[in-house]
């Protein structure tokens, strides 16, 4: 053996990439269809709205719960991909961009999932996101564009606030959360920001985030 590849590994990798892209495209087509319908639509209705045959949808996602789990994974993977690209932005823009991306994902997933996609994510996905956000906060504090006492639990609370606004105002004012986001970011970036209470500790934050949805 001379250690040279005959190209089969590259071909297999290309097929895997094509399969992944095809599944992502299918999921986003289904997500768009569910948004046009509602979260209570039947699998057959969703398939037809997405331009699929019901049999094609059932082959890949045999039950509504399997479909919702696939959508939750897709939402979280896309959020991770956006977050991993944040270091390419100016440091003062990163937190705003991250929270706005989270808000957009929450607004869309609210229309189609029974629980927020973050509650349906895997432990590995959540831990990866927490690590990325911790790096984002450290960079912001070091650069002086975030208040020095801002922690991961403060970002989590900001996301919970956005979620509550989205759930309260949709469908009357579905973009209302964006105005509140401006208030949140201005506060987190203010050098005069002070806290009356300490942040949630790691155990408290873990218990809140990992609660089983009702």
Query: Average pLDDT for residues 45-49, to the nearest whole number?
Result: 95
Q: How confident is the model at residue 122 (pLDDT cuts 50, 70, 90)?
A: confident
> Per mean pLDDT, which range of 23-37, 68-82, 103-117, 171-185 is the poorest?
103-117
- H runs (alpha helix) in 37-122: 43-49, 54-60, 64-84, 91-110
Q: How confident is the model at residue 111 (pLDDT cuts 50, 70, 90)?
A: confident
C-alpha span between 126 and 128 (Å, rounded) = 5
Q: How confident is the model at residue 133 (pLDDT cuts 50, 70, 90)?
A: very high
Q: Which two tokens stand for residue 171?
A: 């469908």
The residue written with tokens 């690209």 in the block is 85
With 0-12 / 13-18 / 19 or more C-beta atoms within 10 angstroms meaning exposed / middle / buried, residue 98 is: buried
Domains recognised in the chain with CATH numbers: 7-62 (no CATH), 71-209 (1.10.357.10)
C-alpha span between 57 and 63 (Å, rounded) = 9
C-alpha span between 123 and 32 (Å, rounded) = 26
Closest CA to 133 of 99, 108, 105: 99
N-to-C CA span, the chain: 58
Query: Average pLDDT for residues 83-111, to the nearest whole number?
Result: 93
How far is residue 73 from each of residues 77, 79, 110, 151, 152, measured CA to CA in Å? Answer: 6, 10, 14, 26, 22
171 cis-preceded (ω within 30 degrees of 0): yes
pTM attached to this predicted model: 0.81
Q: In this structure, are residues 77 and 125 in contact, taking their beta carbons and an 8 Å threshold?
A: yes
């Amino acid at each position: 053996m001379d250690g040279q590849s005959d190209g089969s590994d590259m071909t297999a990798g290309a097929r895997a990439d094509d399969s992944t892209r095809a599944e992502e495209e299918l999921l986003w087509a289904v997500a768009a269809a569910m948004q046009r319908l509602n979260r209570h639509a039947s699998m057959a209705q969703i398939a037809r709205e997405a331009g699929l045959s019901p049999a094609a949808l059932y082959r890949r996602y045999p039950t509504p719960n399997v479909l919702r789990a696939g959508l939750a994974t897709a939402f979280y993977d896309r959020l991770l991909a956006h977050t991993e690209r944040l270091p390419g932005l100016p440091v003062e823009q990163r937190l705003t961009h991250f929270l706005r991306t989270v808000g957009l994902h929450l607004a869309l997933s609210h229309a189609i999932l029974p629980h927020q996609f973050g509650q349906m994510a895997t432990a590995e996905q959540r831990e990866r996101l927490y690590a990325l956000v911790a790096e984002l906060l450290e960079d912001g504090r070091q650069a002086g564009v975030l208040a020095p006492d801002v922690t991961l639990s403060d970002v989590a609370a900001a996301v919970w606030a956005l979620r509550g606004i989205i759930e309260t105002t949709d469908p009357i004012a579905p973009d209302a959360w964006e105005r509140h986001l401006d208030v949140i970011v201005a506060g987190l970036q203010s050098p005069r920001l002070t806290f009356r209470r300490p942040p949630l500790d790691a155990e408290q934050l873990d218990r809140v985030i990992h609660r089983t949805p009702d």
